[in-house]
Amino acid sequence: MLKYQVKSSGLTLRPANRASRTSSSNSSSPCSISMHSLLDDTLLGIPTTSRSNSLLSLNSNDSNLSDASDVGVLKVDTRSVKQCTDYKTIRVTNGTTARHVVEKFLNTLKLTCRDANLFDLWMELTTRASGAPVVTLLKLDPDARPYELQRCHPMGMSRFILLQNPSGFLVRVHDHNISPQSNYKSLLLSSQTTTIEAIHIVLSLNRKYDDASKYGLFLATPGADAQIPDDVSLVSIARLCQPDQKIIIRHVDVF
């Protein structure tokens, strides 16, 4: 289990000596962010308390639940992602990562066509210093384990917020080869999103559920084209595209 020492300028992570849980040593420590620079009206625009209008996925069978002994509930404020919601609740384990929580909520909110790399899970901590409340907002690493972090604090002294990163880059992918009725799809992608992840998004937008390995993205020019490797950042390619170049998706031969 992790313990924290909170200061007014941020938060310091101190792992405690405990040999019985090896999983906690693999989780990434969240970086500390000043509350005054992030938690303002323009970023969140929401109060610090939440109203319940939905309790979802509590009875769903999560494949990760059978692999961990500690099972609990995680409540996440989702209003900044989907305005018609207040918060959503899912069942998690001490091994559930922040990345899995983001993907779970995008599926619950029916936002599966969005780039998951553009969404981050934040943890809001409330402590007291000299009798006054001190609030700190932390951006969790994808490998961080929010349920373990929640258990480190008294009930009601922490909460989680799902936010979209505003640094997305618009990439146009021409998809007429796989959907004749379509010309192209405009994808808002993170600079970390790979070609194969972009292919999954394009297939989801076209409601195709084929194996993504059967498709490839190509940088096309009037004279020739070249396939973009699956593990390359698509945004890095799109930024270098010339006016006569375009990115297309089509079937590839799988041997």
The domains located in the chain, with CATH, are: 71-164 (3.10.20.90), 169-251 (3.10.20.90)
Amino acid at position 140, single letter: L
Phi then psi for residue 207, to 5 deg, are: 55, 40
86 and 48 Cβ atoms separated by less than 8 Å = no
Identity (one letter) of the amino acid at 64?
Answer: N
The first and second tokens of residue 89, run together, are: 């609740």
Please give the helix or strand (H or E) that residue 27 lies within, else none.
Answer: none
Least Cα distance to 173 among 142, 144, 198, 141 occurs for 198
Q: What is the pTM of this model?
A: 0.67
Q: Of all helices (H) and strands (E), which one includes residue 201?
A: helix 195-205
Q: pLDDT (tens digit, 0 to 9) for every residue of the chain, 255 residues total?
A: 444 443 444 433 344 444 333 333 344 443 333 333 333 433 344 333 333 333 333 334 444 444 446 888 898 999 888 877 888 888 999 899 999 999 999 988 888 899 999 999 999 998 888 888 899 999 999 999 999 999 888 888 889 999 999 889 999 999 999 999 999 999 999 999 999 999 999 999 999 988 899 999 999 998 888 999 999 999 999 999 999 999 999 999 754
